Structure 1
């Protein structure tokens, strides 16, 4: 766990250095252009916009001679977001990366993971004229996690890990973008979704919707489970950002996907709703929820205590978040 946390910190520092180097490169390049054509240099500065965010939310509870009892605990959520957008005339290219990792340490118990996410996305659009809000667009996204996940208190068998699962979406369609309303709506009738399970034990169990291993009457594996599942379907995504009250901003992200070839009409849902409250330039609070539903992801639980997980139907996945912490943006 210490090694994993160290690797995450190293990654964050590397990304920050990369962002700094990129900025230095851009400044040097435009300065050189300015020596030839000042007008062109000033225009180039407007094409690229960038935003970098580093933050940590901390929660600590300590007891001393407390009659009601309780365990000392501390929780930390480290996160960072990077945005690189290019807009020129009829062209719009948006890129983003999101990294999150949370841990909880409680007296008398091992450190446990509370959050884990690595997400990359990129979309490229072209519109017919400078006043249109609709773009002909293509979109790619990738989503996985950093480290192993467990169904606590069991720490013997991981139920997830890096690229188990991993998801990619690649498609073409049309996107509505309104900078005044800070609203984006993407419609893609042609989207390929790939689910990767690169851990063979999890693939053999058919986790995350891949085809499980084939076994004989004695339970011996005669054909390994597949490590990838490919789908072809319809994707709708939406992002909306608005300051609903002074220093309180609403962030809403919704993704809906349905596979043409397998039970079309069953919709995979990924919905995040967050309220970000600004205390000052460096201290912020966050309240949010994250809902997921995937018809191919079955719920598993050991109901009879035999150490084996029984498989049930898909269920709604819900995560709630409340945090106060330090944020640095540039």
Structure 2
């Protein structure tokens, strides 16, 4: 929990830094743009003398989406931090974690011609707290903060039509996977070691558009093939998010997240999230 609070403070501090930077001058520099969106997703169900049965549940997620982007002349530098944490309480089962994610994305581009840029990307993915397999008794720990943590970076070419539509191709991507001693031997890290290295092909894309009035669809795709180990096994990370706006403060959020990674699991990972969102934009 202490490490979770540390990461949360880090995310919030970046948000505060962004606001402070904007307030230093009455007219903020046009080359930097900062934004922070905080969303609370709430789900709740209560049963009393309900003959069909059911368990009382309450669940909540907090999502923090922060962007700080630089643009001047032929240079573009986009930075995004995605933080998500969720808990649920179910009668007789207690409190359980439902979502946990920390991700930092950086994409630097120098314009070449038309919509093409020379690029360099950096990605860091991990989680805030310990994860368990709740299907086993007693519950078995399967992950922890920085176990695993993935650090990827590499040069490439970026096709960017707008902030809402781009594809980055990085054919020489370095990826490091980190784990603690407890999880050594998992996530593609050899037994007795705390890290592994791979070199491969990375493709990432982002596409956001309006499906209908007040309904936005967001697609985020990341593909990775390791040249050094089974390049035919392509890692897939695909997210689809729907935002149905009610007003400036309320929205209905629906998200699907699919991960295919043989080093993490032999099965396809799938997550779906739906709830009423309370939005706060800075």
SS in 2 for 1:20: helix
Q: 1:4 to 1:110 in 2, by over 3 A?
A: farther
Structure 2: runs of 5 or more not aligned: none
Question: How many equivalent pairs are there?
Answer: 281
- Moved beyond 6 Å, runs of 4+: none
SS in 2 for 1:127: strand
Deviates more, 1:277-286 or 1:288-297: 288-297
Which residue in the other structure is 1:193 paired with? 175
8 Å CA contact 2:100–2:128 kept in 1: the answer is: yes
Which residue in the other structure is 2:156 paired with? 173
Which residue in the other structure is 1:319 paired with? 271
Structure number with higher strand proportion: 2
1:202 to 175, 183, 195: 183
Q: 1:194 to 1:12 in 2, by over 3 A?
A: closer
Instruction: Describe the superposition over 1:242-263 as per-residue Cα deviations: whole angstroms up to 9, x where unpaired.
Output: 0111000010000111011112
Q: 1:120 to 1:103 in 2, by over 3 A?
A: same
Displacement of 1:62 in angstroms is: 1.1
Displacement of 1:320 in angstroms is: 1.1
8 Å CA contact 2:134–2:140 kept in 1: the answer is: no
1:211 to 177, 190, 205: 190
SS in 2 for 1:296: coil
Q: Does 1:328 align with 2:280?
A: yes
Which residue in the other structure is 1:162 paired with? 145
In 2, distance between residues paired with 1:120 and 1:55?
18
Displacement of 1:110 in angstroms is: 1.8
In 2, distance between residues paired with 1:119 and 1:171?
17
In 2, distance between residues paired with 1:140 and 1:5?
23
Which residue in the other structure is 1:297 paired with? 264
Q: 1:54 to 1:124 in 2, by over 3 A?
A: same
1:137 to 112, 119, 130: 119
Deviates more, 1:87-96 or 1:151-160: 151-160
Which residue in the other structure is 1:92 paired with? 76
Matches within 5 A, 1:100-111: 100-111=84-95
Which residue in the other structure is 1:17 paired with? 16
Displacement of 1:7 in angstroms is: 5.5
TM-score (norm 2): 0.93
Which residue in the other structure is 2:111 paired with? 127
Instruction: Describe the superposition over 1:60-99 as per-residue Cα deviations: whole angstroms up to 9, x where unpaired.
Output: 1112222222221100001101001111111100001010
Structure of higher RCO (CA pairs closer than 8 Å, 6+ residues apart): 2
SS in 2 for 1:207: coil
In 1, distance between residues paired with 2:280 and 2:219?
22
Structure 1: runs of 5 or more not aligned: 31-43, 213-224, 299-313
Which structure would you say has the larger Rg? 1
Instruction: Describe the superposition over 1:19-48 as per-residue Cα deviations: whole angstroms up to 9, x where unpaired.
Output: 3222223x26x5xxxxxxxxxxxxx73221
SS in 2 for 1:111: strand
Q: Does 1:283 align with 2:250?
A: yes
In 2, distance between residues paired with 1:5 and 1:136?
36
In 1, distance between residues paired with 2:32 and 2:17?
16
